[in-house]
Chain A
Amino acid sequence: MSLTVLNLLGRGLDASALRQQTISNNIANAETPHYQSQRVVFEETLQAALNSSGVGSFQGKRTDPRHIEIGMTTQLPTPTIREVKTIQNNNENGVDLDYEMTSLARNSVWYNAIAQQMNHEFNQLKTVIKGRG
Chain B
Amino acid sequence: MALFGQFGISGSALTAQRLRMDIISANIANATTTRGRLVDGQWTPYQRKMAVVAPRGGPSFDTFLNAATQGKQSTVTQGVRVTEIIEDQTPFKLVYDPAHPDANTEGYVQLPNVDLAKEMVDMLSATRAYEANVTAFNAGKNMEMKALEIGR
**Which residues does A use to contact B, with CB under 8 Å?**
13-14, 16-18, 20-25, 27-33, 35, 38, 80-83, 97, 100-101, 104-105, 107-108, 111-112, 115-116, 118-119, 122
Contact = CB atoms under 8 A, between A and B. Distances in A.
A28 B80 contact: yes
Contacts of B132: 27, 30, 97, 100-101
| In the complex, the 5 A-B pairs of residues with the closest C-beta atoms, listed nearest first | A28-B13, A24-B9, A108-B139, A24-B6, A28-B80
Interface of B: 1, 3, 5-6, 9-10, 12-13, 16, 53-55, 73-80, 125, 129, 132-133, 135-137, 139-140, 142-143, 146-147, 149-152
B140 A31 contact: no
Q: DSSP majority for the B interface?
A: helix
A82 B3 CA distance: 20
Contacts of A24: 6, 9-10, 13, 79, 133, 136-137, 140
6 contacts: A18-B76, A24-B140, A81-B76, A108-B142, A115-B150, A122-B150
Contacts of A13: 147
Contacts of A111: 143, 146-147
Contacts of B1: 14, 17-18, 21
Contacts of B73: 80-82
Contacts of A29: 13, 53, 55, 77, 79-80
A86 to B, nearest CB: 16
Given A81-B76, A107-B139, 10 more contacts: A13-B147, A18-B76, A22-B76, A24-B137, A27-B10, A28-B136, A82-B73, A101-B135, A115-B143, A116-B146
B13 A35 contact: no
